[in-house]
Every structure is written in C-alpha cells, then in structure tokens.
C-alpha cells in the first residue's frame, strides 16, 4: 500500500511538472523552427538546429543595450534595498519604539496593495515631482530604481525583521564591550549572520525586477532606455506573424533569469524560513 501511494505521488508530481514546463518547451522548441514547421506541428521537434533566428532576434531587439539597461536597474535596485532595509530592520528590532512599530506594520501593509490601484496616481505624482524638483523621476533609470526601492521595501524589511529577532542580543553586547561602534557592529557581526535572508532578498528582488514589465512600461518612454521585457514586447508586437523570431526573443529573455535562479535557488527555503517563521 505504501509503495502504491508513493507511485501515485510520483505520477502526480511528474504530471504537474510537465504541465508547468510545457510553455517553456513550446517556446524553446519553436525558436529553432521556420514558419512552415511551426504551422504544421508546433509541438514537434525541429527538423534541424539553427541559431539564425536567435541572431535575428538579437539584432531586432537591440538586446545588448536592453540587457545593460536591465542589469543597471536590477543591480541598482537590489543593492539599495539590501543595504537600507537590513539596517532599518535591525534598528527596529534592537531599538523598539511605538513609532518604529507603526512604521513596520505600515510597511508590511503596503505588501497587500495592488500596483494597479495606484499606478496612475503614482505616475501623476512622479510627473509633479519631476517638474517641481527638476529630478527626472520619469523616463529615466534613476526614477525606475527609486520606485523599485519603494515597492520592495515592505517585503524586505518583513524578512529581515523576522530573522534579526532570532539573533542573540548577547553576541552584539559582547561586540560592543570589545569596542565596536554601530557601523562595525552591523558590518562585522550582524551582516554576516543575515547571509541566508540577504540571499533570499537578492533572489526574489532580482527575479521580480528583471521580469517586471508594467512599471518600466509606465516610467520609460525612450527606446534607448528600454529593459529586456520592454524590448521583447516591442519586438513581439512588430513580428507577431513571425513566431519563430518571437519565440527566439522570448527564449533569450528568460534564459538569464533561469540560469540565475538555478544557481541561487538553494538559499530561498532557508532564508524565507528564517525571516518569516522565526
């Protein structure tokens, strides 16, 4: 009976995995086909492997520029989020106050606000700030990074806040007695102990920022500033009939984030468990 249950469980897992992986299979397989092959059998394997459609997609999408733009926005957003939210969460835990508790719960509450409900007022407000201050919040990578930091702060502080509570205060007190100031205490003692949560924050924010389409589409209007998802969208719209080029472009878009996730996913479970459960 136990063997039978395990076999049923394995079949169910394989079926679910096949269901979720089927879109990736369709995209990747059709990226190597010509239009005739796709029309005749979109689910079948290609007759020959050719990378000419990938080369055409790279040229049409201006992928090099889009990749650099996405990398700049992603790295800038994640670095600021990791630095500021880790320090903020640590201070909230170690120096509790009524104002700090209100701020923490306010930030956590922002996680449940759908972006669609505030996107138009946000763009209007950012346009007003741009005119008032002269700072380019719209149609600039700076503005996009600034907004990414704002939308990611709540979740990052939530994860760090939970993990900092599990760190014994005695360790920090001993470091202070040894002569550490607040920056040395955080940089040399606290920060290394936050490694698992930091890796979780980095992974989740990199995946979200790299794949984000809606916010960049509202903020960035210049073609030279487009990120990879925006470049893919414009390419797909222009070559809707040429499905092989569209599939090649989609494959090139998702490939970097899949590689990143494969190498970094082992940190997610430990980091989320440490930050949200403890």
| Residue 136 scores a pLDDT above 70 | yes
Q: How confident is the model at residue 54 (pLDDT cuts 50, 70, 90)?
A: confident
| Residue 91 scores a pLDDT above 80 | yes
Max distance between CA atoms of the chain, in angstroms, equals 75
Q: How confident is the model at residue 275 (pLDDT cuts 50, 70, 90)?
A: very low
Where does residue 121 rank: exposed (0-12), middle (13-18), buried (19+ CB within 10 A)? exposed
Q: Which CATH code is given to the segment(s) 51-276? A: 1.10.3720.10
Element spanning 26, H or E: helix 2-30
- What confidence score (pLDDT) does residue 145 get? 95
- What confidence score (pLDDT) does residue 70 get? 93
The answer to whether the beta carbons of residues 66 and 223 sit under 8 Å apart is no
Q: Which residues contact 33 (CB under 8 A, 6 or more apart)?
A: 46, 47, 244
CB atoms within 10 A of CB 258: 12
- What confidence score (pLDDT) does residue 237 get? 58
The residue with greater pLDDT, 39 or 121, is 121
Mean pLDDT over 190-210 rounds to 88
Please report, to the nearest 10 degrees, the dihedral formed by the alpha carbons of residues 192, 198, 203, 207 taken in order: -140
Q: What residue ranges do the domains of the chain occupy?
A: 51-276
Specify the residue for token string 């389409």. 213
Measure the CA–CA gap between 186 and 90, rounded to whole angstroms.
9
Give the N- to C-terminal CA distance of the chain in Å, as an integer.
37
Q: What value does the mean pLDDT of the chain take? A: 84
List the structure tokens of 210.
């790299």
């Amino acid at each position: 009976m136990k063997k039978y249950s395990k076999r049923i469980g394995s079949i169910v897992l394989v079926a679910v995995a096949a269901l979720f992986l089927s879109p990736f299979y369709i995209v990747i397989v059709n990226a190597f086909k010509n239009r005739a092959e796709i029309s005749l059998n979109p689910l079948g394997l290609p007759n020959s492997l050719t990378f000419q459609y990938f080369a055409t997609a790279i040229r049409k999408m201006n992928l090099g520029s889009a990749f650099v733009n996405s990398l700049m926005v992603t790295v800038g957003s994640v670095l600021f989020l990791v630095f500021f939210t880790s320090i903020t969460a640590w201070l909230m835990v170690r120096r509790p106050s009524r104002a700090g508790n209100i701020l923490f719960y306010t930030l956590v509450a922002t996680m449940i606000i759908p972006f669609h409900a505030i996107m138009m007022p946000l763009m209007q407000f950012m346009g007003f700030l741009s005119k008032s201050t002269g700072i380019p919040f719209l149609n600039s990578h700076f503005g996009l990074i600034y907004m990414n930091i704002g939308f990611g702060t709540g979740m990052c502080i939530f994860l760090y806040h939970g993990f900092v509570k599990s760190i014994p205060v005695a360790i920090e007190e001993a470091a202070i007695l040894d002569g550490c100031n607040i920056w040395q205490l955080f940089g040399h003692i606290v920060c290394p102990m936050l490694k698992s949560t930091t890796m979780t924050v980095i992974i989740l924010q990199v995946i979200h920022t790299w794949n984000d389409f809606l916010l960049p589409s509202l903020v960035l209007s210049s073609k030279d500033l487009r990120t990879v998802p925006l470049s893919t969208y414009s390419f797909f719209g222009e070559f809707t009939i040429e499905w092989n080029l569209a599939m090649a472009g989609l494959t090139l878009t998702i490939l970097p984030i899949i590689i990143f996730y494969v190498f970094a996913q082992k940190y997610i479970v430990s980091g989320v468990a440490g930050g949200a459960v403890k």
